[in-house]
Structure 1
Amino acid sequence: MKLKICGMKYPENILEVGALLPDYMGFIFWEKSARYCDGNIPELIETIKKVGVFVNQSQEEILEKVKTYNLQAVQLHGNESVEFCSELKNQLPGKIEIIKVFSADESFDFKIITPFESVCDYFLFDTKGKLPGGNGTTFDWSILKKYNSKKPFFLSGGIGMNELRAIEEISKTNLPIYAVDVNSKFEIEPGLKNKNLLSNFKRKFDVANF
């Protein structure tokens, strides 16, 4: 199982967290976010995939950010349509991944994701809240029993140290969980991560070998 650390903002902190060698690091390019990244991203080791997070932004803006910051993945956190994802996929260079986010709660209808299977590389399930992300709360993972797709997905939403046991349990199911996405539970303030807490989490995460 891969690890994604999202909501990175400050260059020095980005390097500190990058030294922990997560698989993905997320940078939010949505200006209304408290974790908005102004683009000052230092060079990272090649094994870390840089993810640009966007919310209902134009394809032109997304493509510009991909080129400028050499992103390896694009995370769509808004109400982007299947058509939008398809057009974007055709315009993105190389093997850049598209991660489509869905906000989940007890009433979530998994049928809506089916049309996206052919235009996205991964799904990401986050907690439905007031903000597109970073709400700091988990959703009821038992609803994932209704997941009937083979498309791998990221598990997100308020994941912290206390969720390690639950991650271990859900990893024993047949669900195609590709990665765990952490953010707000490891912050000193929005966008500034606690390196020591993340280091402890990653050490236990790696030992568990989900």
Structure 2
Amino acid sequence: MKVKICGITDVETGITASRYGADAIGFVFAESKRKVSIEKATEIAAHLPKEVFKVGVFVNETKEEIEEIASCVGLTHIQLHGDETASFSESLSLPVIKALSFQGNESLESLKDFPSDFILLDSPKGKYRGGNGTVFNWREVSPQLISSKKVILAGGLHVGNVEDAINIIQPYMVDVSSGVETNGKKDLEKIKTFIEKVKGSLIGGITK
């Protein structure tokens, strides 16, 4: 099971998370309390292992801005967290993660044929498009609607609930941000514990 740690804003946390086994690091370029500058993201990305995904999170940004940031930072994946269209997704030069604020299977049905390499299932929108630390009902998700995509599960995950989440959704990757924070800042011990929980032995018969 793969793990993405999102909302990284400093070099030490990025390096340490990847050392603990994070498979993807997320940089938020949209409005958020975890928004990172292009310069800082570039610095962090330069210290990460080649095999770790460097994911840029964008909300309704222009293609030109996304491509420029991706090139500067050295992103490997683009996460679209807004109202981007299928044609917009197809026009991008890197693999796309299309985020969906899950509010029922009707909205999920509309993404079944969306041209993206991954679908990220997140909680309904709060103040920001993501990273709000709230959980949605995983049992409401229709397995048939997500069977053809690599699914990344987000939304209020933490060490206490991630096992249940994985057993129910059986995603390709889990994505955590606020669940590994203390007082709004990334907590290295929580990151370590979360990754160990996800990757340590077996969860629900799924090989890690």
Could you say which residue in structure 1 is the equivalent of 2:187? 194
Percent sequence identity over matched residues? 31
Displacement after TM superposition at 1:15 (Å): 2.1
Partner-residue secondary structure (3-state), 2:7: coil
The verdict on how the C-alpha distance between 1:132 and 1:147 changes in structure 2, with shifts beyond 3 A counting, is farther
Tell me if structure 1 keeps the 8 A contact 2:55–2:78: yes
Contact map agreement 1:168 1:208 (CA 8 A) in 2? no
Match of 1:81 in 2: 85
Looking at structure 2, the residues matched to 205 and 126 of structure 1 have their Cα atoms a distance apart, in angstroms, of 18
Cα distance, 1:162 vs structure 2: 1.1
Distance 1:203 1:152, change over 3 A: same
For residues 163 and 143 of structure 2, the distance between their equivalents in structure 1, rounded to whole angstroms, comes to: 21
Name the structure 2 match of 1:125. Answer: 121
Question: Per-residue deviation at 1:160?
Answer: 0.1
The code of the aligned residue for 2:123 comes to T
Give matches, 1:1-210, under 5 Å: 1-30=1-30, 32-39=31-38, 40=40, 41-42=43-44, 43-88=47-92, 92=93, 96-106=94-104, 108-116=106-114, 119-130=115-126, 131-145=128-142, 147-149=144-146, 150-170=148-168, 177-190=171-184, 192-209=185-202, 210=206
d(CA) in 1 for partners of 2:34 and 2:160?
Answer: 23
Relative to the length of structure 1, the TM-score reads 0.86
Instruction: Report the AA paired with residue 135 of structure 2.
Output: T
Find the aligned partners of 2:6 and 2:101 in 1 and give their Cα distance.
16
Structure 1: which 5+ runs fail to align? Answer: none
Query: RMSD of the TM alignment (CA)?
Result: 1.7
TM-superposed deviation, 1:168: 4.4
- Greater shift after overlay, 58-67 or 42-51? 42-51
- The amino acid across from 1:70 in the alignment is G
Q: State the Cα distance separating 1:108 from its structure 2 match.
A: 4.5
Tell me the TM-score normalised to structure 2 length.
0.87
3-state SS in 2 of match to 1:201: helix
Q: Number of matched residues?
A: 196
Comparing 62-71 and 35-44, the one that deviates more: 35-44
Take 1:23 and 1:10, find their aligned partners in 2: how far apart are those partners?
17
- Cα pair 1:7 1:28 within 8 Å, conserved: yes
Give the C-alpha shift of residue 189 in structure 1: 4.1
Structure 2 unpaired stretches of 5+: none
